[in-house]
Structure 1
């Protein structure tokens, strides 16, 4: 039998349901979804969510009427029992069209208070999940979209100043489509697309900003690029001389490849051609490419020269070690030892022959060192 405590518990549930529905109804994301022009995944999800919410409110209206009657019957156990335990909630059917369901239409659906709460809870959870996901998607995407719009606007202004609108048109169309997708279909929008377009816009903006000075000072820029090419050519020439010198004096280990900076002249020609027709962004790209390749060419030339110098330094080191061993042999009284003399002459011949095979010379020097160590162990004495 129903009692006052049971009724109070049911009424508390009603207050919680009412508060949850009002909170969802007044949420910013819910209001945006109600008024927005939606497309794609978000539109499909929101249509299902609206159907769920419409059913929740329809059930809630019937549920609230039943509980109003129950509250009015407080203290009357006989009246309360069927209201709280029986199929007392009459849910009005959805009207689908004039004349549908016959003259009187479909009969109301009768469910219990508990069944009404379960049904509202299920529908509310599905709809709230859609609202929450859309809100989270907008929160995640809108800052990225604002950053894209900022880069997009700055690039558009720079392109307009340079008369290079064609460089912006394709990206502008893509950015417009991406922005529309974020606003109308946040659940289907690709965050990676925004990040990629923003990076493209920022790269284009950087290129346009670099191009602007070219449009006012192409001659000075050209002189700087010519200097870059000359520096690369001089570094390559120095490296070739160092490698030729090392190759003539040292054999064995392979030398590094000296870069050919000839392609830099082609890039310089491309820069000139683009400047001549006012293609400033293309000229800036050619200039940046030339500078990067010139720097890499110089790096490789310096590495080749350093490798050649290392080989000569290695030969000098071996010659120094041979002289140190000769002096040690003299101190140990081995200057007249025919075996030591023969091994020293063999090492010296290897080290003073051009080109010197460093591997063979190192092996000859090691044999002389080993014989000297053996001589010392067998009783050689110092001065």
Structure 2
């Protein structure tokens, strides 16, 4: 092991190197023990892993075992050097050469697993040695690999377990709601439960399978949570409808009465428009009330049989349909009544133009008299031609403006 031709280290250099190397050994031992006692390491080690995560962990464990064996070899060299140095307070040159070989030369025998294939023979691996510094470099590399893997697994769990727990709690809440409704199993809730069980198995045993570009892919869990939100909302609404069925039905009845009233006003306006407005271009409002009342009556059967989710869907759909019908009827009433309002507006504008013409001294102007008579005949004759009335009134306005500005 010693090299007779090499210049040996001095006694002070040996003592300094031994002190430094022993400090390094203590730090390495502490780091290795801290790693094995770390909660993240213990969690990974104590989990029954699967898939890619298991393969990588088995590789890391094998590498960590080699690290410990290399560390043992490293310690043996330091122990040998320490014992050799302790024998003599003033070591001879031969001893210094031996110490130099231990501290600076290839004194650490590598574990057989660390010997590359190209350095093995038919009779088995030949021994290979490295320096203490090289041994530290190898141990540092392996330590970093294990740390990286443990960190990656724990980071994936941190990103995945929260959404998984939230989804599973959401599923349990949905199951409690479904059970409280006493309607049997919910097919969609069962489907989501199976999806969560499959996703949970991957999350807990093979989290690295879900890592993409350094981030855990939570899309599967996010979709399950979104689906659960819909199911729970539906079940919660079913529970509310069960508790407040009479009030909801009464409110729908009130809305139908309002719809009937709006339609009656629209039909009355329609009949008036048909008489008083020429070519109104509007249709008589459709009456959906009878069909909607039939749907309202049909809800009683769902209520009587305790089919709460179907009842909730039926109530919500009917409420929405009635609200839309009221909105449509209101727009129809406004449109139809607007034709009469337009006629009254044109009448008012004609009177205002006549007053303005008189104020400006053009009341007897023959063109204005003719246009006023023509517009009056159109606006006060049933049915009123709104389009032609608008044209004549615009002509009256242009003539009056020309007279006022002197541009006739």
Residue number in structure 1 paired with 2:72: 61
**Alpha-carbon contact 1:319-1:351 (below 8 Å) kept:** yes
Question: How many angstroms apart in 2 are the aligned matches of 1:5 and 1:176?
Answer: 60
Partner of 2:231: 204
Match of residue 140 from structure 1: 159
Give the whole-Å Cα distance in 1 for the aligned partners of 2:38 and 2:278: 81
TM superposition shift of 1:21: 2.8
User: Which residue of 1 is the match for residue 4 of structure 2?
Assistant: none
Residues 1:181 and 2:210 aligned together? no
1:176-219: CA deviations, max 9, x gaps? 33333332233335523333333433433333333335556756
The answer to whether the aligner puts 1:298 opposite 2:317 as a matched pair is no
Deviations 1:151-173 (A, max 9, x none): 22232223223223311433333
Q: 1:279 to 1:376 in 2, by over 3 A?
A: same
Bigger CA drift: 205-214 or 278-287?
205-214
Q: CA deviation at 1:35?
A: 1.0
**Which residue of the partner structure matches residue 213 of structure 2?**
none
Cα drift, residue 8 of structure 1 = 5.0
What is the alpha-carbon distance in structure 1 between the residues aligned to residue 106 and residue 382 of structure 2? 110
Task: Provide the C-alpha distance between the structure 1 equivalents of 2:84 and 2:278, rounded to a whole number of angstroms.
Answer: 111
Question: Is residue 158 of structure 1 aligned with residue 177 of structure 2?
Answer: yes
- Structure 2 unmatched runs, 5+: 1-7, 86-90, 115-119, 211-216
2:126 matched to 1:115? no
Distance 1:361 1:83, change over 3 A: farther
1:1-383 matches, within 5 Å, as 3=13, 10-70=21-81, 78-94=97-113, 106-167=125-186, 168-189=189-210, 190-212=217-239, 214-215=241-242, 221-232=248-259, 234-236=261-263, 238-239=265-266, 242=269, 261=288, 264=292, 268=296, 271-349=299-377, 351-352=379-380, 361-378=389-406
After TM superposition, give the deviation of residue 370 of structure 1 in Å: 2.6
Cα displacement (A) at 1:25: 1.9
SS at match of 2:106: coil
Cα distance in 1 between the residues matched to 2:313 and 2:269: 34
Measure the CA separation in 1 of the matches of 2:79 and 2:280: 99
For the residues of structure 2 that align with 1:252 and 1:17, how far apart are their CA atoms?
Answer: 98
Counterparts of 1:235 and 1:109, CA distance in 2: 98
Task: Tell me: CA distance 1:257–1:69, structure 2 relative to 1, closer, same or farther (3 Å).
Answer: farther
1:128 to partner: Cα distance: 1.9
**CA offset digits 1:4-63 (Å, max 9, x no partner):** 555555555544444433333222221111111222343233233323333333333333
1:358-383 deviation digits (Å, cap 9, x = unpaired): 56544543332232222112299xxx
Distance 1:48 1:253 in 2: 85
Change in CA separation of 1:125 and 1:375 when aligned onto 2, cut-off 3 Å: same
Structure 1, residues 249-290: CA drift from partner, whole Å, max 9, x if none? 668997699677477457546644533443222221222222
SS of 2:112's equivalent? Answer: coil
**Partner Cα distance (1:309, 1:181) in 2:** 65
> How many Å separate the matches in 2 of 1:365 and 1:164?
69
The whole-number CA distance in structure 2 between the counterparts of 1:353 and 1:56 is 107
- The answer to whether the 8 A contact 1:89-1:112 is kept is yes
> Could you say what secondary structure the match of 1:180 adopts?
helix
Query: Measured at CA, do residues 126 and 268 of structure 1 come closer, stay the same or move farther in structure 2, by a change above 3 Å?
Result: farther
* TM-score, structure 2 as length reference: 0.74
Rg comparison, structure with higher value = 2
Report the Cα distance in structure 2 between the residues aligned to 1:345 and 1:126, rounded to whole angstroms.
100
Unaligned runs of 5+ in 1: 96-100
Supply the RMSD in Å over aligned alpha carbons.
4.0
